[in-house]
Amino acid sequence: MARKAGRSLMRTAAVLRSDVCDLTGTALLRAARLSPGGCDLLAGGPPCQAFSVFGRRRGRKDPRGRLVFEYLRILSEIRPRAFLLENVYGMLTVEGGAVFRELVERLSNPTRGLHYKISVHRANSALYGVPQFRDRVFIIGALEGGEVEQVQPVTCSPEADLFDSGELLPWRTVSDALRGLPPVGSPYPANHTGRRHSERITRRYAGLRAGERDPLTRINRLNDERPSFTIIVGSDKGGGKGHVHPREPREVTPRESARIQTFPDWWAFSGTTRHPIRQVGNAVPPLMGAAVGNALRGQLFGRRTVSLESYAARLDQGHLFSR
């Protein structure tokens, strides 16, 4: 992670590099200097490829589909006041909904003497200030009968009914996401170097209209005036492709994908060109995560919520709102 003055989010963090199957709640609590029951929130997002509509949807037949039950094990060991589990909306319907029903039942009562009140929220990131359509499910559990009733949207479609939109801002667009970004190849921010395309691919990309899908790479040309299509991880055999830039005949760089996902410019990704895009595609958009965290802050922990302007500034997302 590249650091910018005053933006070292990892300063007080403890990082444990481990296969989750080998990780114990005891080790996590020890690293956080907490005792069982002393943790306020456990947040996690087991891999989504087993449930995604973009994949084969093998559910529990895919080893990654069973990792949600490792989350359940760690939850039982840590016994937090609340938990948050994020995944793709496809989790709701895989195996006819059986996986989801079983998971919710077990999350409600992960071990003897531990009971959580469950609330489920399906949310699209475009409604939370993220310049990207990204449909996700958040499963929230709370001890002592607490419940998150709503994660309040902060943006809406420009075509939304006046009475529905209220004081919400119009959703953020690709143009907002890329505003002020230096030219490709600039030394800062990191990860701003893209793939080299042959003349044949460049011509093909140049002929795409905004929103049109390339028939061979199966990626879409972005529209400057709308949120981006979902940033996806790609296949296990390679993947890591971005969408086609809205104004240039090339795929977006990893940094441009990170901008669309609302990562701050000072957050750098490791690996070659395709690895950062896979990291971006696997992540919860930080601005969406902040909106969900804000709801938990107020509804579960009784603390004063913060404004969109406040947490957007903390994440250095001012370019999204500088119209």
Q: Catalytic residue positions?
A: 48
- Residue 120's SS3 state is strand
Give Cβ neighbours of residue 79 (< 8 Å, ≥ 6 apart).
36, 37, 39, 114
Answer whether 149's CB lies under 8 Å from 299's CB: yes
From residue 261, give the alpha-carbon distance in Å to each of 129, 255, 265, 273.
10, 10, 11, 16
Answer whether 16's CB lies under 8 Å from 31's CB: yes
Token pair belonging to 245: 């830039």
**Distance between CA 199 and CA 53 in Å, rounded?**
33
Answer whether 296's CB lies under 8 Å from 152's CB: no
From residue 99, give the alpha-carbon distance in Å to each of 23, 138, 171, 304.
23, 15, 33, 36
**Which burial class, exposed, middle or buried, applies to 302 when counting CB atoms under 10 A from its CB (0-12, 13-18, 19+)?**
exposed
